[in-house]
A and B are shown apart, each in its own frame.
Chain A
Amino acid sequence: MSQSNPLDKNSLVLEKIKAGDKAALLDLYESNLSMVSNHILKNNGSRDEAKDILHDSLIVLWNNIRKPDFKLTSKPSTYIMAVSKNLWLKKLSKAKRESSKDITTLNVSDHPLSVHQIDVKKAMLALDEIGDTCKQILSKFYFDGFSMKEIASQMNYANADTAKAKKHQCFKRLSEIIKSRYNLTDFLG
């Protein structure tokens, strides 16, 4: 197969994304924007909403592609379009639900963040306090899904074990911050 073969191109993009190359997402953004925009504009959306949905779809792709059991059977563009349609549908039905709600039945907890979401927010704040290296190593492992070996080479640790020890230390630091601030029984509801 030659380099210019579109199939090859697609798998190359996917490989890049898998390897944590965010710029590859930008290529996918460019090549899919008009398609996603068309769909959303036709369905009561705006150009800005289309961009937002496309961003979210790319994040879904980013997340899923690094799951071990995920296998992309279609072209990336088909996948992105399908996810975008779904996300937009969700957004529309959510908007509809909210607008049809009777003000008298509105529950305080309906709208603002749930207790769980608030807990996540608190943890996110704590994450900002553990230092950049710690944040990075945890993000690389839990969000980007890199192996400890990959992280070790990316972040200049001697080996996977050193990186793992560092990660463990960071995770512990994060949970200590939470424990020092909140009563766990209350915190986890």
Chain B
Amino acid sequence: MKDWTEHIEDYLSGQLSPQDLKAFTKELETNATLKQEVALGKLLIEAIEKTGELDLKDYLIKHTTTATPSKTKYYWTFGAAAAILIFGIFMYNASEEPVTAKKEPKSYFGFEELENTTAEVSKAKRKKKTEPKIAQIDDDDRPLDSSNYIAQGDELAFLDENTAESRMMLSSNTIIPISIAAVTPPPVKESTITYDYSNSKSRALKKEVFSKNKIASRKDRDSLSAANNEKTKEIKKQKAQKKYTFQVSFYENESDTILLCNSTSEEKVDLEVDNLSPENAVILLYKNTYYLKSGEDFYQIYFNQSSSIESKITDIELIDILKGEPE
């Protein structure tokens, strides 16, 4: 008796001679084992074909779509580039921007871009001191901040459109906490939050971060603010065209969490902090400088500069101010 199992392949690929085919078909009717082997053979061919299709598809995908690098890799490149690119610029900027803790009783949440530290500012400050009503608005806002950080006094500062220096700054003596807690960190070790510091809208956006359903009351408050202060209104109008989007992302490498900021004005931040928990991190703004609060520690955030643990604030006086504790 012929071993038909040796001929299964030929049978399945139609290569049996007519006589053999006839005999094979006849055998198949009675031979259960052969039937089973044929079924297995069909399955194997299907698997081979399927594998071939998948391989071909892989080939097509590989050769027709431009590969996009993984996000993490992108950030690393980004961070490295920022670090290399801008260290020099930072050195330059840092030297002309000493952080001095100077408290003033006036309160105003001025999310205005301030582009200089020159005489114009002091001029503006002097002007503003005659408008005490703004303090009420500040009180109004307090519950939204969901933390101990309360705006310390500040005056409205002008944005000098003509200044050559293009650093993005907010009003000088305000401590503005921006809680990141509202952003649920995604499972993929990376979270992003966008802050919009486009002047009059910045506060609104901050509120949106906290709670979206407060938008309505924010609008009310904003109009109240404008009504209360003609000057503010004017300046807000002036600045409305200039928009900054400020994006903060966290991503983790093996041991550290890195804060990465970039804004439309191309400032970048790459801050490395041990055990930073994005859930509890708060970004503070005080005297034109950003600070990151993580646990009990504060770190200065430098734009256009990769910084790490060295940027931790050690000045007790400054820490107290940032903590919002009375002097």
Which positions 154-189 of chain A face chain B at CB distance < 8 Å? 167-168, 171, 174-175, 178-179, 184-185, 187-188
Q: Does A22 reach chain B (CB closer than 8 Å)?
A: yes
Contact partner of A22 (CB less than 8 A), chosen from B6, B13, B56, is: B56
Q: How far is the CA of A113 from the CA of B49 in the complex (A)?
A: 18
Give the distance to chain B from A96, nearest Cβ to Cβ, in Å. Answer: 25
Asked, given contacts A56-B57, A184-B36, whether A124 binds B49 with beta carbons under 8 Å apart, the answer is no
User: Which of chain B's residues has its CB closest to A128's CB?
Assistant: B51
Q: Does B320 reach chain A (CB closer than 8 Å)?
A: no
Give the distance to chain B from A27, nearest Cβ to Cβ, in Å. Answer: 11
Give the distance to chain B from A49, nearest Cβ to Cβ, in Å. Answer: 13
Q: Does A89 reach chain B (CB closer than 8 Å)?
A: no
Residue contact B43 to A120, C-beta cutoff 8 Å:
yes
B41 neighbours in A (Cβ, 8 Å): 171, 175
Give chain B's interface residue range (CB within 8 Å of chain A): 20 to 34
Asked, given contacts A178-B40, A188-B36, whether A25 binds B60 with beta carbons under 8 Å apart, the answer is yes
Number of A residues near B (Cβ < 8 Å) is: 38
Residue contact A29 to B56, C-beta cutoff 8 Å:
no
Give the distance to chain B from A64, nearest Cβ to Cβ, in Å. Answer: 12
Q: Does A144 reach chain B (CB closer than 8 Å)?
A: yes
Which positions 39-58 of chain A face chain B at CB distance < 8 Å? 51, 55-56, 58
Which positions 2-58 of chain A face chain B at CB distance < 8 Å? 22-23, 25-26, 29-30, 51, 55-56, 58
Q: Does B55 reach chain A (CB closer than 8 Å)?
A: yes
Give the distance to chain A from B237, nearest Cβ to Cβ, in Å. Answer: 41
Interface of A (DSSP majority class)? helix
Residue contact A143 to B52, C-beta cutoff 8 Å:
yes
Binds A, one of B61-69, B139-147, B219-227: B61-69
Asked, given contacts A55-B60, A55-B64, A127-B51, whether A120 binds B9 with beta carbons under 8 Å apart, the answer is no
Give the distance to chain B from A10, nearest Cβ to Cβ, in Å. Answer: 20
Q: Does A92 reach chain B (CB closer than 8 Å)?
A: no
Chain A positions near chain B (C-beta within 8 angstroms): 22-23, 25-26, 29-30, 51, 55-56, 58-59, 62-63, 119-121, 123-124, 126-127, 135, 138-139, 141-144, 167-168, 171, 174-175, 178-179, 184-185, 187-188
Chain B positions near chain A (C-beta within 8 angstroms): 6, 9, 13, 36-37, 39-41, 43-53, 55-57, 59-61, 63-65
